[in-house]
Structure 1
Amino acid sequence: MTSILLTGSSRGIGAAAKSALEARGAKVIGQATRTDREDTVPSNFCEPNAPHELWHAALARSGGKIDVLVNNAGLFDPNPIERSDIEWLDAWEDTMRINLTAAAQLSRFAVRHWQERGCTGRIVHVASRAGHRGDSPAHWQYAASKGGMLAMHKSIARAYACEGILSFAITPGFTDTAMAGDYLESRGGPGLLADIPLGRVAEPEEIARLIEFCALDAPASMTGATLDANGASYVR
């Protein structure tokens, strides 16, 4: 049975991915900031030691072996430049720690785990279209964190492919989740769809299918690839 650590598993894309992966027979250990689910580890990535504690808790629950890491946890809060210096910096640091630093820590633990065991493994990074094209004036920190995630993903893919350690990234555009709902409304609601040739935002289940594919099915030669899912609103 494939053991998967999936961060941000309590709602939206994460919840849909958990269901999709479990339907394929995988054992999924979830992560959420707050949870009362037995199959999910409570872990607040604003705390520097949280990824370390999560990793070891996930190992204990999976019998000492994790095959796939899915870095999906994310913070998407506005951070207007008009804020005070300390407020702006605190919001920047929170986003970076949750979206990028925690993902980097977990990726490091995963790579070392597979190296020590002499086995293969996969990392799936859920980044964002914002990592390519930027985001709104109030979301510098979000775009920067997702751009950093994409650079990290490419570095991992190039460094460890020879060891059978594979890295994939997914870059959704707007997705119909609770996290994006307020942003969609703030940017004009239905008017925002004019920028999406498909005419709608993605459903969480669509992104979950890509996570499932990368985690379980993607051929090894695809390592280093980034899969866009944005309704042609950003075409590379």
Structure 2
Amino acid sequence: MSHVQNPPAATRHLHGQTVLVTGATGAIGNAIARALAASGARVLLHYARRAEEAKALAAEIGGGAVCFQADLADPTRPTALWEAAEAVAGRITGLVNNAGILGRVSVGDPFDAWQAVWARDIQVNLLAAADLSRAAIRHFRTHGGGRIVNIASRAAQGGYRGDAMPYGATKAALVNLTQSIAGSFGAEGITAVALAPGWVRTEMAEAYVAEHGEAAALSGIPIGRMAEPDEIAELVAFVLRPSQVSLSGAVLDVNGASKMR
């Protein structure tokens, strides 16, 4: 496969950076990996099950990209993932907590199903990000700082629909985690920013459209369309630029004006 074409040196704002991206085989994670590589970063690609897709992506973007497998639903794996990435890459300058799931469960479902969905969403969406952030902070403290970008959601604001409350709750907690990191560790050169997308054209969005229709997904979005994964990726690459220190603690809404604060 051909490698991603390198842009002019003047636009390679992430040259010399090494960034771990979780969920790199999903639509958003794939786009993020490509955008970071195009900006000059070495990308460490996490995947859970899609080994061949991860390997193909690494080969395509080049720049020393490496793949790491980890099931983030297993509480032991997030820290092990960081340790494996650190062992291969040495210095890591950025972490993008992109991996996430949306479990569906309602109050009328059996109690064991209710608890299982809550537990899995909390583990993958929040605790895995917290454990990876802990490992990253400990690494950054001894290596001159670093950046954390957490992919939250519009669902973090104002509550979420009744059949996906765990998703909204975990994304709200992820925003709080981001701001806690920014406020607590900024003096040590560690920054944290959250992105809060609305509907993005992903497998999750397509599944919703298949069940409820495009009009239901686009209802309440003034611009009349979903975001594309490349829009999210472009913003992540911008946030990770060394020049963007003062963005630390920000929650950047990317929802087509469907949720404004």
Scaled by the length of structure 2, the TM-score of the pair is 0.86
SS of 1:216's partner is coil
Deviation at 1:79, TM superposition (A): 1.5
**Is 1:27 aligned to 2:42, yes or no?**
yes
Aligned match of 1:79: 105
Letter matched to residue 177 of structure 1: T
SS of 1:202's partner is coil
Aligned residues: 234
- 1:9 alignment partner, one of 4, 11, 24: 24
Distance in 2, matches of 1:107 and 1:26, equals 19
Aligned match of 1:191: 216
> Per the alignment, do residues 79 and 21 of structure 1 end up closer, same or farther by CA in structure 2, a change over 3 Å counting?
same
Aligned match of 2:81: 54
Distance in 1, matches of 2:248 and 2:180, equals 11
Structure 1, unpaired ranges of 5+: none
Distance in 1, matches of 2:248 and 2:227, equals 24
Distance in 2, matches of 1:8 and 1:231, equals 24
Q: Which moved more, 1:41-50 or 1:75-84?
A: 75-84
- 1:136 alignment partner, one of 138, 145, 161: 161
SS of 2:226's partner is coil
**Is 1:106 aligned to 2:121, yes or no?**
no
For the 8 Å contact 1:70–1:126, the answer to whether it is kept is yes
Distance in 2, matches of 1:209 and 1:4, equals 15
Letter matched to residue 191 of structure 2: L
Aligned match of 2:193: 168
Q: Which moved more, 1:150-159 or 1:127-136?
A: 127-136
Aligned match of 1:234: 259
Distance in 2, matches of 1:155 and 1:76, equals 24
Aligned match of 1:97: 123
Q: Which whole-Å deviations, capped at 9, do the CAs of 1:100-151 have from their partners, x for residues lacking one? A: 000000000000111123x010000000000012221111000000000000
Distance in 1, matches of 2:23 and 2:163, equals 23
Distance in 1, matches of 2:258 and 2:19, equals 31
Deviation at 1:40, TM superposition (A): 1.8
Deviation at 1:217, TM superposition (A): 4.9
Distance in 2, matches of 1:184 and 1:79, equals 18
Structure 2, unpaired ranges of 5+: 1-15, 56-65
Distance in 2, matches of 1:124 and 1:105, equals 14
For the 8 Å contact 2:149–2:192, the answer to whether it is kept is yes
Deviation at 1:181, TM superposition (A): 1.5
SS of 1:41's partner is strand
- 1:67 alignment partner, one of 83, 90, 93: 93
Scaled by the length of structure 1, the TM-score of the pair is 0.95
Distance in 1, matches of 2:243 and 2:221, equals 27
> Per the alignment, do residues 217 and 204 of structure 1 end up closer, same or farther by CA in structure 2, a change over 3 Å counting?
farther
Distance in 2, matches of 1:184 and 1:88, equals 24
For the 8 Å contact 1:133–1:234, the answer to whether it is kept is no
Distance in 1, matches of 2:242 and 2:140, equals 19
Q: Which whole-Å deviations, capped at 9, do the CAs of 1:173-207 have from their partners, x for residues lacking one? A: 00000122212333432233131000001000001
For the 8 Å contact 1:29–1:61, the answer to whether it is kept is no
For the 8 Å contact 2:103–2:166, the answer to whether it is kept is no
Aligned match of 2:205: 180
Distance in 2, matches of 1:98 and 1:105, equals 10
For the 8 Å contact 2:199–2:217, the answer to whether it is kept is no
Stretches (4+) displaced over 3 A? 184-188
